[in-house]
């Protein structure tokens, strides 16, 4: 299951980055806050909590920061940022850890 999730995230991440934003709505949409991005992907698109965390960290400019930057360069930095940026009811510590691990894997 984990391998499938990583494969799906990789396809989403690389598809989003490779498209250049054409008329497909691209995944380069920017968000004012991390919470806005998470709500769009988890609530609006029904992605899992982990997938929404990963995609928001890796694929979207947030609050003026470039895509792939706002969550930091390490899993620990990502976990701190996401934990502080999301409503506590939105994600468990395990969800955040898993989403951030996938994010670090995606950017490396």
Predicted pLDDT of residue 7: 43
Q: What is the pLDDT of residues 22-48, one digit of tens each?
A: 333 445 799 999 999 999 999 999 999
Predicted pLDDT of residue 28: 75
The count of residues in the chain is: 108
Crossing angle of helices 49-59 and 75-85, rounded to 10° = 110
Looking at the whole model, is its pTM more than 0.85? no
Shortest CA distance to 100 belongs to which of 20, 38, 15, 32?
Answer: 38
Q: What is the pLDDT of residues 6-27, one digit of tens each?
A: 444 444 444 444 433 333 344 5
Q: What is the pLDDT of residues 63-100, one digit of tens each?
A: 999 999 999 999 999 999 999 999 999 999 999 999 99
Predicted pLDDT of residue 21: 37
Alpha carbons 24 and 86: distance in angstroms, whole number: 28
């Amino acid at each position: 299951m984990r391998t499938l999730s990583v494969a799906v995230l990789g396809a989403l991440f690389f598809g989003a980055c490779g498209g250049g934003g054409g008329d497909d709505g691209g995944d380069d949409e920017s968000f004012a806050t991390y919470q806005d991005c998470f709500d769009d992907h988890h609530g609006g698109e029904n992605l899992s909590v982990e997938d929404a965390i990963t995609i928001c960290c890796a694929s979207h400019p947030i609050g003026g920061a470039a895509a792939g930057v706002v969550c930091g360069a390490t899993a620990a930095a990502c976990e701190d940022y996401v934990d502080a940026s999301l409503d506590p009811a939105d994600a468990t510590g395990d969800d955040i850890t898993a989403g951030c691990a996938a994010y670090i894997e995606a950017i490396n």
